[in-house]
Amino acid sequence: EFILEGKGLTQRYKTDTGCILTACRAVDVRLRKGETLGIVGESGCGKSTLLRILAQLERPAEGQLFFNGTEITFLKGESLRRHRCHIQMVFQDPAASFFPRMKAGEAITEPLRNFRRLSRQETRDKQDELLELVGLPKEYANRYPHSMSGGQRQRLGIARALALDPDILICDEATSALDVSVQRQIIELLADIQRQRGLSIIFVCHDLALVQLMAHRVMIMYLGGVVESLPGDQVWDQA
């Protein structure tokens, strides 16, 4: 019943001074299909480390990871590459991850060129569909991301993350660089897309009020561990 489940996830890094730092300690995390899980915690508490483990960008020192009940902790090579398409990420500043000379249309369809074999027309149709999904006019395909507003660039970031039809979207401080009114628009967009597509979302943010706008459940991290995991509507009772 969980699309993604982590058990006892632990990660350690060696610091510059040679000490061992536990960035993530025995974290249990569960995500249901169609659910939004919010993860909150101050800077340095291990949120990004946990996300990298969940997105299979790095392997935990200890613990297990399951996708739809199948253990995926030790996937490697081609099966790992393939698995990663199920889980896509949206970052704080998508412009930073788009090649500066790439037009918006190319930027959002790049994952398709890398991972799917589509005809020119199919790619074109998918491009139009993605732009429409995130509320941008088709003509924006020919514009450069750096000529767009922060909110529009984040819409592109979301379109690009959805190009491969992932099951899970991981948003790492995806609204943190935006104006408050734009943050809400992006959150509404994510909630809409989630309802339309039955997507599961992990939404990481240092702003509890914002997380609470869309999260069904909220996990609070502190010093690498989970201190609370509650339904979204009970967060304020505990605070």
Residues forming the site for ligand ADP (CB under 6 A): 13, 21, 23, 41, 43-49, 78, 81-82, 85, 115, 117
107 near 95, Cβ under 8 Å? no
31 near 37, Cβ under 8 Å? yes
Q: In the numeric block, which tokens belong to residue 108?
A: 């959002």
Q: How far is the CB of 181 from ligand ADP (least distance, A)?
A: 26
Residue number with CB closer to ligand ADP (3 or 141) = 3
Helices (H), 60-144: 77-84, 94-97, 104-115, 120-133
> What is the separation of C-alpha 174 from the centre of its chain, rounded to a whole number of angstroms?
8
Residue number with CB closer to ligand ADP (104 or 130) = 130
Q: How far is the CB of 13 from ligand ADP (least distance, A)?
A: 3
Q: How far is the CB of 139 from ligand ADP (least distance, A)?
A: 30
Q: How far is the CB of 101 from ligand ADP (least distance, A)?
A: 24
Residue number with CB closer to ligand ADP (72 or 104) = 72
Q: How far is the CB of 208 from ligand ADP (least distance, A)?
A: 14
CA dihedral 27, 32, 33, 37 (to 10 degrees): -60
> What is the separation of C-alpha 67 from the centre of its chain, rounded to a whole number of angstroms?
16
Residue number with CB closer to ligand ADP (157 or 224) = 224
Residue number with CB closer to ligand ADP (184 or 206) = 206
Cα angle 104-177-40, degrees, rounded to a multiple of 5:
120
